[in-house]
Amino acid sequence: MRVQRILAVAVVFLFLVGLGLGQTQGRTEHVEKYTIEVEGQDLGSCGDFNLWTDYVVLVHEVWLYDKDGQPVKAVNRYKVVGQGLYYNSNDRDLFLLGAPGETEIDHIDVEDGTISITGIPFKIRVPGYGPIYYETGRVILDLNTGEWLNNTGHNQFVDQDLEAVCKCLTP
């Protein structure tokens, strides 16, 4: 008798959960992976020159839609292929290599117009010294206003803390 009650409760629970999921479930679209080649992305000012970066990134996109087919969220995964190149905008011979495995995951909320960025999108390490520039943790950007809503972790790109890397690239 007890087993029958448990089974009956389980069946009702699964039915209700299925009913709830069925009403809100939309579709998911996986976009094929593609690469983007970026040259001369300006990361900020070093006074007499700017810090620029070149890199190739592999992108994997996933779009989530509501039951009416309207886009609700997008998740983009970026992985740098090889290593990024960081250099003095006035003299490309003054450069540093990014650490292998720079990655970023963006969660775009179409409904509220925000993007949440996590990962290690930028990282420069000087051999024998250690990291001198990196972006890690999580930031949230309001796509409508351009305002940073949240900034947690070590965020030299968002905070524009470029002193150490600028020093390495100064002639």
The pLDDT tens digits of the residues spanning 64-111 come to 999 999 999 999 999 999 999 999 999 999 999 998 888 999 999 999
Nearest CA among 10, 167, 3, 25 for reference residue 96:
167
Which residue is associated with the tokens 């890690």?
136
Mean pLDDT of 54-62: 95
Task: Please tell me what DSSP assigns to residue 99.
Answer: P
Give Cα 107 to chain centroid, integer Å: 7
Average pLDDT, the chain: 83
pLDDT band, residue 140 (cuts 50/70/90): very high
Cβ atoms 115, 141 nearer than 8 A: yes
Distances (CA, A) of 62 to 24, 26, 36, 71, 119: 18, 13, 16, 11, 17
**What pLDDT score was predicted for residue 20?**
41
Nearest CA among 59, 68, 78, 66 for reference residue 28:
66
Residues 98 and 100: their CA atoms lie apart, in Å, by 6
Provide the whole-model pTM: 0.73
How do the domains of the chain map onto residue ranges?
27-168
Collapsing DSSP states into helix, strand and coil, what is residue 154? coil
